[in-house]
Each structure stands twice: as structure tokens, then as C-alpha cells.
A and B are shown apart, each in its own frame.
Chain A
Amino acid sequence: MNEIFEDLANAADELLATYVSNPPTERGETKAGSLNRQLWDAAAAADWFRVILDEVHGGLGLGILEVGHIFRTIGSRLAAGPFLEHAIIVPMLTSENDGYFDRFTDARDGSGVYIWADGASSHTPASHLPSIVDGALTGTVELVRFGMEADNFLVVALIGDVPTVIMVSADAAGVTVSERQTFDSIGSLSDVHFDRVTIFEVVVPDAGETVERIRNVIRLMAAYELAGVARHLLDESVKYAQQRHQFGRPIGSFQAIQHLLADMCTDVLTIEAVCDEAADKVNSPGLIGSVQSMVAKAFASGAARRIGEGALQVHGGIAFTADCSVHKWFLHLLALQGFYGDERELAKEVGRMLLAEDFQLVN
């Protein structure tokens, strides 16, 4: 790790330690209470939303690896907010469409909240994405995270069968956001319905490759976030195994518990390595980037699930109680596991790609 990178990761962790309680308190009581505004403003002020933005546009010009480690700390601290949109998606769209730099000022300073609405996050078939016909947008995107907080939606829509990234105001006529029940310990979920919406802007037309690149980075950031959640669960489990005594000794002295923790540790270290490896390659041309991001997300999803279940097991009975905070990280990792594909779905997709006649793996 170079110095800038270490400083950035540490600074991010300190910021979250200041603004996110440990464990995080319950979601706000109001429907729109899923965003921690103090944290949000502090993150914007700390330039989180400029990390990968190129220097020409006033960004820090850093890479996927650097921002990945911010997402890792977001996972370990269980911080809630549309960081993906503002730290990743908006900067990537800005690079695609220079003209949008001014338009996204409020995204960069956090005063406007932009929410990504892409059916691929819930594995909606491509043909079922919202579509634009005769200038009107119609369709529904389900499982939109923080949909209730949106000022603007960035929507992956189809014109014919061509993916297009458009921006729709949450207040536009024909837009309805309906909240969904969620078991996730942080954040909120909703379905966003578009009923012949005519007021929208095309941010990236003919966006097939752009959308694939964005999805690849989203998967990798979800993998990094899982890495952070997993690391926290391992650390807490080790602490508990040292403190909890039964049969006159710490339960961490029993081989059964040691082996369980050793397996969890192996998985944590591997997730971290897989993420950093993929960070280098995720923006590679062609399908390599896609395969890398899917591998990272697939591995992180499956391993984090094992780690979460192991953490519950080490904590024994108290893990199941609402009082013990371990479950909050477990619930969040379950939500991340399914986001943009779990290990089974992505393994199938990777298999399909590898077996395609014209696919070449390049080392």
C-alpha cells in the first residue's frame, strides 16, 4: 500500500468512527430516515465523491483500489448511504459525458441525492428494464436502495434494445416510489415506478459498454464492502472466543472453535486478496473486466456468508438476540450477498462466458 492510499483508508475509517455509532442505531423512524445526514455531509466534505474523478475535473484522480478501501471501511463500520452512486457512478458518468460536469455539482457536494435504478441489481432480465417509447419512460425497477431519499434517479432504460442512462427527477410526473419491507439492518429499499414519464435527460445514449463498466465496478465495491463486514465479524468473533469462558477456560482454547475461526480467517484474507487483484483488472477492455468483477463478487458473497454463519456460531445463543450487535453485520451481508448477483448466479454467468467460443482469457 502506498502512503496516499493508507492515509485515505485511515482517514475514511476515522470519519466513519466519528459519525457512525457502534453498533449503528436503528434506522430512523420516518420513511425517509435511512440516510445519516451528518455522515453524508462529512463524507462529501472529505472529498469521498471526488476520489476517482479525474484531476482535470477537480478530482483526486485516484483509482479503483483506493476507493475500494473506502468501501471496505464502509462495510466494517456498517455505514449507510448511497456512497456507490456519488463516489463511483456519478464520477464514471461525468467521465463519459463531460457536459454533465456542471450538472452534477450538487452530486459532488452531496446537496443533491442521486440514486441508481438498474434492474440488473435484482437480476431483472435485460428485456424487462424500463423502456422509452415515443419519448415516454415506462416500467419499474425493484429493490432500489435509498429510493426514498432520491432527488434524482439515474436509470438504466432501453430505447429499443439499446441500454441508455437517463436522469429523472424524483418529483417528475409519473414517478412513484413505494417502500419495501427490508430485513437489512441499515438503509432502505423501494420499488420505483415510471408511468409514461416524459421529463427526463439522456446522460449517456447508446450506453451498453458504459453500463457494463459501471456494473463491474459496482460488483467490486460490493465485494469490498463484504470484505469489510467479514473482517469486522472475524475480529468480533475472535474477541468473544477469548472472553467467553466455559468449562473453566476461554472457548477460544477449544480446537473446534479454533478451527471454525481459522476457516473464517482464511476466507477473510482471501476475499481481501481477490478484491485487490480484481481492482487492477476491473477496467480492462472486453470481457476480462466483467469476469474479474464477477469473480470478486461471487467469491466475496459465498465466503462472507460462511463467515457470517461462523460468527453467529462462535457467539452461541447471544448471537440470535437483538441486543447483541453481531447480527446487524450478518443481516447486511445477506443483503449484499444477493446484490448484483450472488455466488451461484455469477458462477453460472462466468461459466457461460468462459465456455463461449470466442472468449479468450488473457493473463
Chain B
Amino acid sequence: MPVSSRETLSIDEYRKSARKWFSDTTLPIVPREYEKQSAVLRAWHRELFQAGWIGIHWPKEVGGQGLTVEHQLAFASELTRARAPQPLGSIGLEVVGPTILKFGTDSQRERFIRPLLSGEELWCQGFSEPDAGSDLASLRTKGSIDGDHIVISGQKIWTSWATHADWCAVLVRTDPDAPKHSGISYVLVDMTSPGITVRPIEMLNGDAEFNELFFDDVRVPVENVLGDLGDGWNLAMDTLGWERAGYSIRRRLENEIVFAKLVEALRISESREMLDIGHLYVQLEAFKALSMRTAQRLMRGDVPTPMDSVDKLLLTRTEQHLTGTAMDLLGAYRMSGGGNPDNLDSVDIIKKFLYGRAASVYGGSAQIQRSIIAERLLGLPRGR
């Protein structure tokens, strides 16, 4: 079915067309080693884009499909059902991209959105610094205006997927004399610019997803500043809102696949872990329910709001419940590769559990999220 003709379909028919497409398509086999995953997932992203399944609710004029969030959710549920991997460019699609769409000039939208949707260009974020974690506003990476360039020097940390990224959304301090939250600018930086060094950080599960970025007098055209100079904090809050709320939806779908595989494996082994599976299912369904409301909120552009922190907390709880339970089901085999009585994929389970411990840290720690909810949603006095 031609992509354009999907516009006239009802949501149910749209869902069915997605289901048919997945059943007719050979799914990629994703390598277990983190470093080998990128090439496969990048190609998959492009395939999805060419088939019209990326940017479903993004405007047509920027390369999207111009459909609704309901269409997006229908597709997402079919992708989960098919156990298909997500497109690779999640930072672009779900975190930085929406901010560019909202705050970009026409020429910035023209330049950046289509390659982001198609997967030609992958994005990363340069936000946190070694001394600016929870206290992001105290960031010190400098951006100095020099003619028609902005010159960036400093260091970022916890940048996911930087080794594969083409572009980076970097927060820099352009006015050191202004109050902390002012004087920050949001700059779109080409990762091939001279002066950028990427240093992967090995994680406790053996993968190296996170990176340090070093900027040594990196010259960036001043037209790559997104929004106004000095208005970067507002844009950063928009990006964080998308990271907490939008990315939660992606993680929910990935978690549902993990759960489905666990149930299948346990069914075959005749294990009787009914209570664990039941509890997990209830948790996942609850997260799904909240997630549906979040999707509507995002579509309305109702982000950032303190509700993003609720999404992030629930994602944290759900993901850690899921990955923790899966590991507990391994019993004594929990730290070992090789066989186990239920024939579970123990290496995958262990790695996901270890990675899951970061869910309460990235995008703002669980403690920060609780403070935001308490102060800004519940109106409680500012605490310490």
C-alpha cells in the first residue's frame, strides 16, 4: 500500500496495515555486542523511514507523515507486537528533535528535521558535566562569540551514543555574568568539528553507551544557536520534558517486549512463578495507562510540565521492577552466563538489570523528580 494512501485509513485500518507490513518484512537481527548494534539499527531506521513509519505525527512539511498521535501509538503497539527493534535515533526523534521543531527557525527546521527523521543524522546531548549533574544550571562549558562563530570549550559527561552521533545539542554558558539559569545557550554542534574528543565510559555491565565529550575551542556557526542567545535553559527544560515523558513511552514499549519474552520462556519451562508475572503485568498495564495520557499531552505540546516527572518516576519503578524480577527468577544463576533451569537468556537479563539501575539517575535522579512533584505539582514549600 502506498504510504500516502494510509492518510485516509481509520486508526484500526492503520494498525492493520502496520501489522501486515511487519509480517511481510524481515526483521533485523540485533547483535548482542553494543558496538556492533549501531550499523544494524541505523539501517533499520532508514528502512522504517522509507516505509513511512517514522515521524508519524510530525508535520508533513518537515518530512513527517502529518498524522495523529493515535496513529503513532497504533504503530508503536504493532512494532512491539512484532518484537521489532526501535529506530536507532531516539535522541533525535524523542528528545532533541521536538525542541528543534518547536524553537527552530525555518532554515534550522529545513536543515535538521528531515535527516533526523530519516536516520541519516543521529543526535546526542551534551548537557551534564562532572560538576553539573543534578545541578545542571551550574554548567561551565563556555561559548564565546567570535564574529560569526561561537567558540566552545569545556567538558560534558553521560552523553549517550556519542560515538555514533553526527550532531550534538550542547548547553554552553555564553554569559558568565548573568544569573545561573540565564546566560546559557543551546547550540547544535556538528560532531565532525575539529576540537571535539569523544571518550567512551565503560559501564558496569560491560557496554560503553555513555561518553565524555571534550570541546577544545570548537568553532560553530552562530546560526546553529537554537532559540535566542541566553535562552538555552528554557529550551533545555523542553528537551528534558521530552526525555522524561517521551522517552518513557519508548522504554515502556521495550519493557513490554522484555516481559513478553519472559512469559514465553517461563511457559515453556513450566515454571510456576505466577505471582511475579502477575505483579509485573499489573505494573506494566498501569504504566501503559499513564503513558496513553502522556502521549496526548505531548501531542498538545503540553511539555515541559511537572507531569513529566511523574512519567519519569513511573518509568523508573516499572523498569526496575521488571528487570529486578527477571533477575530474581534466575535464582542462584543470576550472575552467571550459560544454562539455567528455566532456559532464560541470563546474560541479557543481567545486562538489562544492571542498565536498569541507571533508570533512577538519567534524565534527573528519582530524588529530583520527587522534589519537582512535591514542589511544583503539589505546591509544597521548597525544601532541602
Partner-B contacts on A (CB < 8 A) = 121-123, 142-143, 180-184, 189, 191, 245-248, 251, 253-257, 260, 309, 312-313, 316-317, 319-323, 327, 330-331, 334-335, 337-342, 344-345
Q: Are A121 and B336 in contact (CB under 8 A)?
A: no
Q: Are A183 and B336 in contact (CB under 8 A)?
A: yes
- Interface residues in B, total, Cβ within 8 A: 43
Residue from the list B132, B202, B328 in contact with A322, Cβ < 8 A: B202
CB distance from A300 to the nearest CB of B (A): 15
Cβ of B310 under 8 Å from chain A: no
Cβ of B204 under 8 Å from chain A: yes
Q: Are B367 and A254 in contact (CB under 8 A)?
A: yes
Which residues of chain A are within 8 angstroms of B118 by Cβ–Cβ distance? none
Instruction: Tell me which of A181, A320, A344 has the highest count of chain B C-beta atoms within 10 A of its own C-beta.
Output: A320
Q: Are B334 and A337 in contact (CB under 8 A)?
A: yes
Q: Which residue of B lies closest to A332 (CB)?
A: B335
Known contacts A122-B331, A183-B336; A323 and B370 CB within 8 A of each other: no
Residue from the list B335, B337, B361 in contact with A317, Cβ < 8 A: B361
Cβ of B151 under 8 Å from chain A: no
Produce 1/0 per residue, B192-204, CB < 8 A to A.
Answer: 0000000001111
Q: Are B335 and A331 in contact (CB under 8 A)?
A: yes
Q: Are B334 and A334 in contact (CB under 8 A)?
A: yes
CA distance A40 to B251 in the complex (A): 46
Which residues of chain B are within 8 angstroms of A312 by Cβ–Cβ distance? 357
CB distance from B14 to the nearest CB of A (A): 39
Which residues of chain A are within 8 angstroms of B357 by Cβ–Cβ distance? 309, 312-313, 319-320
Q: Are A317 and B133 in contact (CB under 8 A)?
A: yes
Which residues of chain A are within 8 angstroms of B384 by Cβ–Cβ distance? 253-255
CB distance from A304 to the nearest CB of B (A): 13
CA distance A246 to B134 in the complex (A): 7
Q: Are A334 and B335 in contact (CB under 8 A)?
A: yes
Which residues of chain B are within 8 angstroms of A334 by Cβ–Cβ distance? 327, 334-335
Q: Which residue of B lies closest to A315 (CB)?
A: B361
Instruction: Tell me which of B202, B328, B335, B336 has the highest count of chain A C-beta atoms within 10 A of its own C-beta.
Output: B335
Which residues of chain B are within 8 angstroms of A331 by Cβ–Cβ distance? 204, 335
CA distance A247 to B354 in the complex (A): 28
Known contacts A254-B367, A320-B203, A323-B202; A338 and B331 CB within 8 A of each other: yes
A-facing residues in B150-167 (Cβ within 8 Å): 157-158
Which residues of chain B are within 8 angstroms of A335 by Cβ–Cβ distance? 334-335
Cβ of B93 under 8 Å from chain A: no
CA distance A337 to B331 in the complex (A): 9
Produce 1/0 per residue, B296-336, CB < 8 A to A.
Answer: 00000000000000000000000010000001101111111
Which residues of chain B are within 8 angstroms of A254 by Cβ–Cβ distance? 367, 384
Q: Which residue of B lies closest to A313 (CB)?
A: B360
Which residues of chain A are within 8 angstroms of B201 by Cβ–Cβ distance? 321-323
Residue from the list B131, B134, B337 in contact with A182, Cβ < 8 A: B337
Known contacts A180-B337, A191-B338, A256-B371; A316 and B134 CB within 8 A of each other: yes
Which residues of chain A are within 8 angstroms of B370 by Cβ–Cβ distance? 256
12 pairs, A vs B, C-beta closer than 8 Å: A121-B332, A123-B331, A143-B333, A180-B337, A181-B336, A255-B384, A256-B367, A260-B367, A317-B128, A317-B158, A320-B203, A322-B204
Cβ of B383 under 8 Å from chain A: yes
Q: Are B158 and A327 in contact (CB under 8 A)?
A: no
CB distance from A277 to the nearest CB of B (A): 25
CA distance A309 to B133 in the complex (A): 19
Cβ of B124 under 8 Å from chain A: no
Which residues of chain B are within 8 angstroms of A251 by Cβ–Cβ distance? 134
Produce 1/0 per residue, B120-141, CB < 8 A to A.
Answer: 0000000010011111001000
